[in-house]
Structure 1
Amino acid sequence: MCSILILSGNTDGILTGVILAAALFVIPFLWETRRPLPLPILFNRRTREVYFDHSGKLYHSPWDGIQALAGEFVMVGPHTGGMRNASLEILVRRLGEPDNALLVSLGLPMGKTLQMQKGLWEWLRAYMDNGPWLDENGQRSDSDAYVKEMLSAHTRPTGFLAYRRQKIAEEKAANEGKNYLEWTDAVLYLGHLLFYPMNWLQEFTYNSAKRRSRNRWPQIVTERLQPNGPTTRLIDLERGRGLTV
């Protein structure tokens, strides 16, 4: 906007605009990079447990006999009409307080169908029961080829520009360099080029916050994540202390 004002000869308020824009950028950037990300939901195959951190309090659930809830609902609005969504949640209990339970969502329900959430649950089940490597049918495999193939489908936002370049190069080779570029290719390429700085900044901010999130799990969890760590489940420790639901 300041560039437009300069080109138009209207220089009033440019300094104020620059200061305001810098403040609106610097303050959120410092806030996001200095603040650690929330800890993820951990699925531990060694102990067959699920761990969840809620405001510094540890919740857990054994995988064998875990309680999960999937439900589908419709959101209706005057402008959007009916939008079908589906949620997938698991029940976890606070360590040392089995009566204190939470339903934890395994992902945002918006835009999901019940079939998609069932598929996610089957992936988790295949990982915990047959993993870490599995084939297209969810059965245990000695090769990680299928898992790597699925992971390769995820493209980072900064990778969109390189992907579009590759597609244009493939179209050029297929047409022997003659009339290969369509208007959609040009629009998509310019769009990815325009948003590349924003995507780079987004990834940089996320990676900075993720580095600050390391080693924030309590010792009782981190030692169970080690290859030679204990395999005793947290629920067994609670039962040894006479804590039952």
Structure 2
Amino acid sequence: MNKSKQLRDSASIVILEADKPTGEQPIALFIIDEHREDYLTLQDAGDPDRGRLAGFFGWLAIAMICLELLLMLYGISESVLIELGITTLLFLVVFLWEVRRPLPLPIVFNRRTREVYIDHDGVLFHASWEGLCAEVDEFQLVGTHLSGMQNASLEIRVWKFEQPDKVLMISLGAPFGKTLRMQKGFWEYLRAYMNNGPWFDEQGHHSESDTFVKSQLSMRPKISNSFMPTRMPIKQVGKEAGDENYISGSDAIKIILKPIFYPMDRIQKLVYSFAKHRSHNLWSRVVIERLKAGGPTTRLVDLEREKSLDI
């Protein structure tokens, strides 16, 4: 990490280490995809819009079914049935197309083997957690429409599997919109997970309860949670007003439209889940084995050393 640090502006670089606290409270950023007992994954240049097109056609098919039932009451159904068939066919084609296309593989932090896995253009890179360091580079964006926006990147160094002379610096999520303090808090979350996890408290200490972790993960935006964030603030306003007629016109429109489009969000989430499950099998065999609960615990660096001794 020292050589990489010398190549850049040392004044803006902060080095974070796996075995040293940052002094910040653990923060779960929205790039966390899965937090499991054995491993944690981060979205790496993912496809957050995956399933949106299938969700639209699925919602359209549902709307056509409702319209068909309504028109059947008036004895009109022939033309609507044809349109319903076309819409359903389009939905099935788009659904299969989006599910079968692989998603970019995530960055994996494996607690069992205490290492990190990264797939870069189909090539496996890895790093051992012990001795791992991260670089936080804080910078400011300035432009004609920006008076100054503070950002900070968080990067780790990884090595190509079976070719350790090839090295990459990998960013743990986009740096824009993140501050130095936020990146330190996120690194502290990773430290707490790898060193004391899977469950820990607000200080990063081991805990038998998953309360703090779930409270952090609940703040991530979710594809299908579009209705509750609308309903709860309106309900709170009603409690404060103490009036039955507290709902404004804009609130009424939100309450009506959100449930109508809710199926679209649910279908999108379903498509994304299926695509993610299929993409899991794209990992190399050595990684898939180590992501299993009862899989081997030998690190990839240990496999490399064994291979070098056999040569």
Which TM-score bucket, shorter chain as reference? Answer: 0.7 to 0.9
CA distance in 2 between partners of 1:186 and 1:91 (Å) = 51
Q: Secondary structure at the match of 2:227?
A: helix
Is residue 2:296 matched to residue 1:230? yes
Residue of structure 2 equivalent to 1:242: 308
Per-residue Cα deviation, 1:97-144 (whole angstroms, up to 9, x for no partner): 001111111111111111111110010001000000100100001111
CA distance in 2 between partners of 1:195 and 1:86 (Å) = 36
Calculate the aligned-residue CA RMSD, in Å: 2.8
Is residue 2:211 matched to residue 1:145? yes
Aligned length: 220
1:215 deviates by 1.8
In the alignment, which of 174, 177, 182 is matched to residue 116 of structure 1?
A: 182
Structure 1, unpaired ranges of 5+: 1-21
Amino acid at match of 1:97: Q
Map 1:38-187 to 2 at 5 A: 38-182=104-248, 185-186=251-252
1:175 deviates by 3.5
CA distance in 2 between partners of 1:241 and 1:33 (Å) = 38
CA distance in 1 between partners of 2:167 and 2:98 (Å) = 30
> Which range moves more in the overlay, 95-104 or 143-152?
143-152
Structure 2, unpaired ranges of 5+: 1-86
Instruction: Quickly say closer, same or farther: Cα 1:83–1:94, change in 2 above 3 A.
Output: same
Amino acid at match of 1:99: D
Percent identity over paired residues:
51
Q: Secondary structure at the match of 1:159?
A: coil
Q: Secondary structure at the match of 1:213?
A: helix
Residue of structure 2 equivalent to 1:15: none
1:162 deviates by 2.5
Instruction: Quickly say closer, same or farther: Cα 1:47–1:145, change in 2 above 3 A.
Output: same
> Which range moves more in the overlay, 107-116 or 205-214?
205-214
Per-residue Cα deviation, 1:46-74 (whole angstroms, up to 9, x for no partner): 11100111122111000001131110112
Amino acid at match of 2:127: S
Instruction: Quickly say closer, same or farther: Cα 1:88–1:230, change in 2 above 3 A.
Output: same
Q: TM-score, normalised by structure 1?
A: 0.77
Q: Secondary structure at the match of 1:101?
A: strand
CA distance in 1 between partners of 2:262 and 2:145 (Å) = 32
1:199 deviates by 4.3
CA distance in 1 between partners of 2:216 and 2:250 (Å) = 27
Q: TM-score, normalised by structure 2?
A: 0.62
Instruction: Quickly say closer, same or farther: Cα 1:148–1:236, change in 2 above 3 A.
Output: same
Residue of structure 2 equivalent to 1:3: none
CA distance in 2 between partners of 1:73 and 1:187 (Å) = 42
Amino acid at match of 1:180: Y
Residue of structure 2 equivalent to 1:221: 287
1:32 deviates by 4.2
Instruction: Quickly say closer, same or farther: Cα 1:205–1:118, change in 2 above 3 A.
Output: same
Amino acid at match of 2:126: H
Q: Runs of at least 4 residues of structure 1 off by over 4 A?
A: 25-32, 186-202
1:210 deviates by 1.7
CA distance in 1 between partners of 2:295 and 2:278 (Å) = 24
Per-residue Cα deviation, 1:168-203 (whole angstroms, up to 9, x for no partner): 234334434334234664576577568757645643
CA distance in 1 between partners of 2:194 and 2:287 (Å) = 17
